[in-house]
């Protein structure tokens, strides 16, 4: 029987005929021949890469029996035997509901996977989605439409040893050959992630869709896949963008109530248990958790919820905790972002207009906000990971170890997170940290706790007090806080204090020179609205350095979309 029966069945085709064709297809085809037919243009290397990483696992279709007995009769007629009860299909149920404008709760869709044997003896299944259509259910028109067009028919390939890198590579290869994202989902009932693609024009496999099935929870990649799918649906894209404020507040409330601390990453807990632990209303908390499950912050597991890796970062004591950042973004910065139109209209900083002072002074007046801000700066500390290995730092450390002491000067270095990393990695180096008095005192405590306080002098002062005579100067996430004129002033103070041999390392996010996506683009808007600064391109920074008698020697990538800019005193 031809494979075209799966994709182009006549309107009069019965469920029994379609099921027999699907079973025959699953028995007769192999991975390499199907991929070659589905993706015309694959070369030998690409085909080998695909066949090494995924295998043809099933042929799938949707049938519409009135009840369970009729479903088993259909399977028997196709020579198939189901040994287990159907499992719920959340993915197909949601797709049907969206396609036909129905409530998903009213669509009872199950999955059965009767086994078949492939031509080479391989174990395969026929993936049978069954939507129950009892007499009088009002679903006959939906069933007739789906039976004729076979939207849910597909060829499934299971990814072998899935990890994010492999999955992204497979998706990129499919995209390169014309397969386009067509939805997908995570099925908690079997802990599997499904990525659907439409087959490219010219495909000869006779089926409209490809499925990549990855065992496990890969919802971060799934979100990227669904976003690409929605790119052609402007109304949904815009609606999700308009509700972005809800996400900020949901994450902030989750952190503020202490729910992450009451949850576990392994064992699910019910909404009632969590509400009792944090003093919340159980039904409203359940609604919040369902929303966060959709975002991938928590995982809905049976009747309870457990923390996803992203949610664990909202715990107060988590390494690199983002909890302080979530409270700032859902708190004072959320309020000032509500005045963004005024900033765009006038160029004035909304935060200053709303609170009557800049955010540094405002936070300094409130001990809780001051602590939140200091801790939030550590949230991005992962971008510092490569800096101890930077050639400038290694050269200074080598000279210091050889008996020529070298000093690292961290300007506005917060509580000393970056300086501590450099000094811990290189015990021969010494350090100086310059900060406001309150922060300098906190830095002393942090650096002592990190075991390098004996090699650091913490000084209280401003940018006019840059310590002279250092060998390596650090300016991390400082310049983006200020406008160009204030940056020039800071850099001139720095250039006056730097000896001719000294190096300056500047850590910032760089705006791209083209339209490529970057976190810097979002942060640029934040800085203008809430802080009074801005993000800049590498060329813009080079001009600011030149105005202060400095020159940009180069820049290298850091995690979290940051860069480290290497700056020297100008030779002229």
CA atoms within 13 A on the CB side of 222: 23
240/539 Cα distance (integer angstroms): 35
Phi and psi for 307 in degrees, rounded to 5? -75, 135
Say whether 500 sits in a helix, a strand or coil. Answer: coil
Which of these is catalytic: 177, 359, 362, 480?
A: 480
480 in active site: yes
HEC letters along 415-470: CCHHHHHHHHHCCCCEEEEEECHHHHHHHHHHHHHCCCHHHEEEEECCHHHCCCCC
CA 414 vs. chain centroid, Å, equals 27
- Name the nearest CA neighbour of 295 among 278, 314, 280, 279: 314
Note whether 139 and 133 are within 8 A (CB): yes
Q: Where are the beta strands (DSSP E) in 248-369?
A: 298-301, 304-307
User: Do the beta carbons of residue 511 and residue 520 sit within 8 Å?
Assistant: yes
Both tokens of 33, joined, read 């021949």
Instruction: Give Dmax (Cα) for the chain.
Output: 90
Q: What sign does the dihedral 438-440-444-449 (CA atoms) show?
A: positive
The contacts found for 524-527 with CB under 8 angstroms, 24 or more apart, are 525/340, 526/333, 526/337, 527/480, 527/481
Question: Please, how many CA atoms are within 13 Å of residue 343, restricted to the half-sphere of its CB?
Answer: 22
**DSSP code for 381:** G
What phi, psi does 408 have (nearest 5°)?
A: -105, 125
Which residue shows structure tokens 């940018």?
A: 463
Cα(342)–Cα(355) distance, integer angstroms: 14
297 contacts 311 by C-beta, under 8 angstroms: yes
Cβ proximity of 212 and 225 under 8 Å: no
Neighbours of 113 (CB within 10 A): 21
Give the integer Cα–Cα distance in Å for 378 and 365. 21
Residues 329 and 359: beta-carbon distance below 8 Å: no
Q: H or E stretch including 476?
A: strand 472-476
Q: 38 is written with which tokens?
A: 């589905």
Positions marked catalytic: 480
């Amino acid at each position: 029987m031809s494979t075209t029966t799966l994709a182009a069945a006549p309107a009069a085709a019965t469920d029994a005929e379609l099921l027999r064709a699907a079973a025959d297809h699953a028995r007769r085809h192999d991975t390499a021949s199907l991929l070659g037919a589905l993706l015309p243009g694959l070369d030998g290397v690409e085909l080998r890469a695909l066949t090494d990483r995924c295998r043809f696992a099933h042929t799938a279709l949707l049938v519409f029996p009135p009840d369970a007995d009729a479903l088993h009769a259909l399977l028997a007629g196709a020579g198939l035997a189901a040994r287990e009860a159907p499992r719920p299909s959340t993915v197909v149920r949601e797709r049907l509901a969206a396609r036909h404008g129905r409530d998903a709760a009213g669509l009872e869709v199950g999955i059965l996977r009767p086994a078949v044997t492939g031509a080479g003896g391989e174990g395969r299944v026929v993936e049978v989605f069954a939507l129950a259509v009892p007499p009088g259910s009002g679903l006959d028109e939906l069933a007739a439409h789906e039976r004729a067009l076979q939207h849910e028919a597909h060829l499934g390939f299971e990814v072998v040893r899935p990890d994010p890198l492999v999955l992204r590579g497979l998706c990129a290869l499919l995209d390169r050959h014309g397969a386009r994202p067509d939805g997908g989902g995570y099925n908690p009932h079997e802990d599997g992630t499904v990525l659907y693609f439409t087959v490219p024009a010219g495909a000869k496999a006779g089926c409209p869709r490809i499925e990549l099935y990855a065992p496990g929870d890969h919802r971060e990649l799934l979100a990227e896949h669904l976003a690409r799918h929605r790119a052609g649906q402007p109304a949904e894209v815009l609606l999700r963008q308009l509700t972005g404020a809800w996400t900020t507040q949901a994450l902030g409330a989750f952190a503020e109530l202490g729910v992450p601390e009451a949850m576990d990453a392994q064992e699910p807990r019910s909404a009632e248990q969590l509400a009792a632990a944090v003093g919340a209303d159980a039904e409203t908390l359940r609604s919040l958790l369902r929303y966060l499950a959709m975002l991938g912050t928590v995982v809905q597991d049976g009747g309870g919820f457990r923390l996803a890796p992203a949610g664990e970062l909202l715990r107060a004591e988590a390494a690199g905790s983002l909890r302080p950042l979530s409270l700032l973004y859902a708190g004072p910065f959320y309020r000032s972002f509500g005045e963004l139109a005024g900033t765009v209209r006038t160029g004035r900083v909304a935060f200053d207009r709303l609170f009557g002072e800049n955010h540094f002074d405002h936070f300094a007046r409130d001990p809780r906000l001051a602590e939140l801000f200091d801790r939030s700066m550590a949230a991005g500390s992962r971008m510092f990971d490569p800096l101890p290995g930077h050639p400038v730092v290694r050269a200074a450390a080598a000279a210091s170890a050889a008996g020529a002491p070298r000093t690292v000067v961290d300007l506005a270095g917060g509580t000393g997170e970056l300086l501590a990393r450099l000094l811990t990695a290189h015990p021969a180096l010494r350090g100086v940290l310059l900060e406001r008095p309150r922060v300098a005192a906190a830095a002393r405590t942090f650096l002592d706790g990190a075991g390098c306080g004996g090699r650091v002098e913490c000084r209280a002062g401003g940018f006019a007090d840059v310590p002279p005579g250092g060998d390596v100067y650090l300016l991390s996430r400082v310049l983006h806080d200020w406008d160009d004129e204030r940056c020039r002033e800071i850099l001139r103070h720095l250039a006056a204090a730097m000896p001719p041999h000294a190096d300056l390392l500047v850590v910032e996010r760089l705006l791209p020179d083209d339209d490529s996506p970057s976190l810097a683009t979002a942060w640029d808007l934040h800085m203008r609205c809430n802080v009074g600064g801005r993000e800049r391109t590498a060329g813009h920074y080079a001009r600011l350095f030149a105005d202060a008698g400095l020159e940009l020697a180069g820049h290298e990538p850091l995690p979290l979309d940051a860069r480290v800019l290497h700056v020297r005193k100008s030779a002229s």
